[in-house]
C-alpha cells in the first residue's frame, strides 16, 4: 500500500487502527511449529521463533562430549565467510553458501546430494557488499526452502526438487541494496530485510506472502509515518520513565532536511516472533553516513528495536538504543525472547545484546525498558543508560561528533563491530542464563566529509581496531549473562573475537566456534570448564547446531573464515585500515587459519 504524505496518516489511523483493533490470531506457521516441536530437526536458524538456540537433545552431554568425533564432512566449494547454519527437516539437510548462494539438499542416510540450486547472479553485486559476501541461511516451511540472495532476489524453492516456485525482487543492488540476512517464516509471511547502510540505503523490513511471494507490507526504518507504518497516537516509546505515543513525524523531526532519504537504518540481522502477542521483533542499523556531523539530530528510528504487528506491519512500540550514533553501533543484533524473572518479577522479556556494549532487557509486550547494563567492563563511550530517558550518557572524550571531522578520536570501546556483532547468543531455560559470544575490541575513529553518490560507498570515517588495552590481551570473551539483574555471571577469555553463534543443550553443554577454527563445548554451569575442543579446516563464523538422525545425535558447524572480522583474509585486503579497520585488527588470524568452506559434523563413536 503506497500512500501520499498528505493523506497517509489519516488513512493509517482509519484503516491501520481498525486492523490493530482486531483480535490477534494467535497462530504461528503450523508447519514450522510442527518441525520445531520435533527436537530431532533443526528447523529454523535459531532452532525456534524465540531465537533461543537451545536443543532438548541430550545424547551428547557433559559426561561424554569429550569422546565426540568427526562423523562426516561436506565441502561447499565456496571460499569466503560461512555464517548461519544448515537446516535439518525429517532426514534432509539444507545447506547454503556465501555468494553465489548455492543451496544443497543432502540425504542424511548417505550424505548424497539430492539436488543443488545455484542462482545466476551478476558478480557486480560482490563489491556492493560492505563486509564480505556472507549469507546467514535458509528458511523452511510448507515444502518450500526460502533463500534470500545477495542480489536481493527472494526465492522459494521446492524442497523436494530444488526448482523455483516463486521469486521476487527485494531491492536494487546497483544502489547498494543487497542482502546477507536469513529470511524468516512467521505465520503466512516470509520476513526479510535489506543491507547497505554503508551505501546510504534507506532500511526497511518487508513481509511477503509465503504462498505466492507477493508483498504483504513494507515498513521503513526512517522517514514519514505512513511509510514507516507508524501510528503517531498508538505506536509507543519509552519516555520519561513510561510508555508514551511517539507523536507525529517522530522520525522526520530528528533529521536535517532530506538526509533521511539516504539515512540507513538497514535490517540485516535476525528476527523473532511471539505468537501470543502476534508481534515480530528486530533491530535497525546505523544511520548514514558514519560522519555524524553531516546528520545532526537523533536520526530516529535508526539504531532501534521495533515490535511490529505481523499481520499489518504497524509498529506497536519502538526504542532507540543509540540516538545520533557517532560510532557505527549498528543495532541489528537479534532479539531473544524469554520468560524470566526481572528484578524478582516474572516477565515476558526481550533481551538484546547491542553493538554499543549495553545489554537491554525490555518488556516485550509493552516495550518498557527494564534493564540496560554493560556486558563488557571496558565499554567507555557512555557511562550508563539513564533509565528514565532511556538515553546513554555519552562521555565527551569519546564523542566523534563533539571532536569533529578530521579529528582522530582514540581509545573508544567497543570498536565499530561492537561488543557483539551478528553472532547470535543462546538462552538456556534450565540455567535461565544467556550465553554470549563477544568482541573485546576498541578503536580509533576519524570522521570526514563525504558526498553521497548513488551506488557508491557512503562511509565517511577511517578506523583502526585493536584488543581492549589493559585487559587480558585477547579480542574476545565468552560470557554468561543474567538479564534479570544485568550482570556478567562468568567470563571466559578468547584470543580472538567469538564470531560464532552459540548453542545450548539439555545435555548440559554450551558450544561455540572460534575464529582460529576451534569448535568448543563447555559446561553450561561453569563455562570455564572446557570439555571438548576440535580444530576444523578454517576459522568459524558459523552457528553451532544439532539434530538427531536414526537414534543418533549429531552436532555441526560451518567453518570458513570471513565476515567483517575475517574480511582481510576473505577478500585479500592488506592495508590496516581496509575492511573498515578490521584488516589491521585481525591481521594475526592468518597465523592460525586459512580460507575454506566446509561443514563438519560430529557424533559420539558407535
Q: For residue 140, what are the contacts with CB-CB under 8 A and spacing of at least 6?
A: 32, 35, 43, 44, 87, 89, 94, 146, 159, 185
Q: Which three cell numbers mark 16?
A: 491501520
* 78 vs 125: CA distance, rounded Å: 16
* 23 vs 20: CA distance, rounded Å: 8
* 382 vs 394: CA distance, rounded Å: 4
* 495 vs 518: CA distance, rounded Å: 12
User: Looking at 298, 328, 330, 421, which residue is catalytic?
Assistant: 328
Closest CA to 92 of 35, 54, 137: 35
* 568 vs 521: CA distance, rounded Å: 28
Helices in 86-144 by DSSP H: which ranges?
Answer: none
Any bridge partners for residue 185, and if so which?
A: 190
* 357 vs 360: CA distance, rounded Å: 10
Any bridge partners for residue 490, and if so which?
A: 480
Helix (H) / strand (E) element for 165: namely strand 164-169
Q: What are φ and ψ of residue 11, in 5° steps?
A: -65, -45
428 is an active site residue: no
* 325 vs 300: CA distance, rounded Å: 10
The full 3-state SS of 140-152, as one line of letters, equals: EECCEEEEECCCC
Q: For residue 432, what are the contacts with CB-CB under 8 A and spacing of at least 6?
A: 340, 341, 482, 484
Give the residue numbers marked as catalytic. 328
Amino acid at each position: 500500500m503506497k500512500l501520499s504524505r498528505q493523506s497517509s496518516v489519516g488513512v493509517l489511523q482509519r484503516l491501520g487502527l481498525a486492523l490493530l483493533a482486531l483480535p490477534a490470531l494467535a497462530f504461528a506457521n503450523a508447519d514450522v511449529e510442527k518441525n520445531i516441536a520435533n527436537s530431532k530437526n533443526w528447523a529454523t536458524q535459531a532452532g525456534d521463533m524465540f531465537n533461543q538456540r537451545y536443543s532438548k537433545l541430550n545424547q551428547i552431554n557433559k559426561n561424554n562430549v569429550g569422546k565426540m568425533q568427526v562423523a562426516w564432512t561436506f565441502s561447499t566449494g565456496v571460499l569466503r565467510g560461512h555464517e548461519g547454519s544448515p537446516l535439518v527437516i525429517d532426514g534432509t539437510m539444507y545447506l547454503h553458501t556465501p555468494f553465489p548462494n548455492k543451496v544443497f539438499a543432502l540425504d542424511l542416510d548417505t550424505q548424497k546430494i539430492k539436488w543443488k540450486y545455484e542462482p545466476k547472479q551478476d558478480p557486480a553485486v560482490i563489491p556492493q557488499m560492505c563486509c564480505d559476501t556472507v549469507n546467514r541461511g535458509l528458511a523452511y516451511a510448507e515444502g518450500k526452502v526460502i533463500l534470500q540472495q545477495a542480489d536481493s532476489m527472494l526465492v522459494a524453492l521446492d524442497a523436494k526438487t530444488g526448482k523455483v516456485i516463486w521469486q521476487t525482487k527485494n531491492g536494487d543492488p546497483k544502489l547498494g541494496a543487497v542482502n546477507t540476512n536469513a529470511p524468516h517464516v512467521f505465520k503466512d509471511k516470509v520476513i526479510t530485510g535489506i543491507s547497505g547502510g554503508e551505501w546510504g540505503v534507506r532500511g526497511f523490513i518487508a513481509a511477503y506472502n509465503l504462498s505466492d511471494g507477493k508483498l504483504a507490507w513494507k515498513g521503513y526504518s526512517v522517514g514519514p509515518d505512513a511509510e514507516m507504518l507508524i501510528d503517531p497516537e498508538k505506536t509507543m516509546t519509552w519516555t520519561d520513565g513510561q510508555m508514551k505515543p511517539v507523536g507525529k513525524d517522530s522520525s522526520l523531526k530528528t533529521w536535517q532536511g532530506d538526509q533521511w532519504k539516504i539515512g540507513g537504518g538497514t535490517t540485516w540481522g535476525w528476527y523473532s516472533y511471539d505468537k501470543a502477542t502476534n508481534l515480530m521483533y528486530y533491530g535497525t542499523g546505523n544511520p548514514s553516513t558514519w560522519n555524524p556531523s553531516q546528520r545532526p539530530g537523533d536520526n530516529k528510528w535508526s539504531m532501534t528495536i521495533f515490535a511490529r504487528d505481523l499481520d499489518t506491519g504497524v509498529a506497536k512500540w519502538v526504542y532507540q538504543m543509540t540516538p545520533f550514533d557517532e560510532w557505527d553501533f549498528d543495532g541489528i543484533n537479534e532479539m531473544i525472547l524469554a520468560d524470566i524473572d526481572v528484578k524478582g518479577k516474572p516477565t515476558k522479556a526481550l533481551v538484546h545484546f547491542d553493538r554499543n556494549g549495553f545489554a537491554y532487557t525490555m518488556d516485550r509486550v509493552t516495550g518498557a525498558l527494564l534493564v540496560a547494563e554493560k556486558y563488557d567492563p571496558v565499554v567507555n563511550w557512555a557511562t550508563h543508560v539513564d533509565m528514565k530517558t532511556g538515553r546513554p550518557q555519552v562521555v565527551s572524550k569519546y564523542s566523534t561528533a563533539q571532536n569533529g571531522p578530521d579529528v582522530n578520536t582514540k581509545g573508544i570501546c567497543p570498536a565499530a563491530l561492537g561488543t557483539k556483532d551478528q553472532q547470535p547468543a543462546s538462552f538456556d531455560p534450565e540455567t535461565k542464563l544467556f550465553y554470549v559470544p563477544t568482541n573485546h575490541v576498541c578503536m580509533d575513529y576519524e570522521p570526514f566529509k563525504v558526498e553521497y553518490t548513488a551506488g557508491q560507498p557512503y562511509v565517511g570515517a577511517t578506523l583502526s581496531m585493536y584488543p581492549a588495552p589493559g585487559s587480558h590481551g585477547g579480542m574476545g570473551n565468552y560470557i554468561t549473562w543474567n538479564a534479570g539483574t544485568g550482570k556478567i555471571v562468568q567470563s571466559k577469555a578468547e584470543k580472538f573475537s567469538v564470531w560464532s553463534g552459540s548453542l545450548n543443550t539439555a545435555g548440559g553443554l554450551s558450544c561455540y566456534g572460534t575464529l582460529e577454527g576451534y569448535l568448543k563445548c563447555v559446561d553450561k554451569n561453569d563455562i570455564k570448564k572446557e570439555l571438548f575442543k576440535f580444530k576444523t579446516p578454517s576459522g568459524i563464523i558459523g552457528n553451532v547446531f544439532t539434530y538427531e538422525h536414526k537414534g543418533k545425535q549429531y552436532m555441526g558447524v560451518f567453518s570458513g573464515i570471513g565476515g567483517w572480522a575475517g574480511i582481510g583474509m576473505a577478500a585479500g585486503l592488506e592495508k590496516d585500515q581496509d575492511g573498515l579497520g578490521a584488516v589491521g585488527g585481525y591481521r594475526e588470524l592468518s597465523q592460525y587459519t586459512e580460507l575454506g568452506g566446509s561443514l563438519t559434523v560430529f557424533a559420539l563413536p558407535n
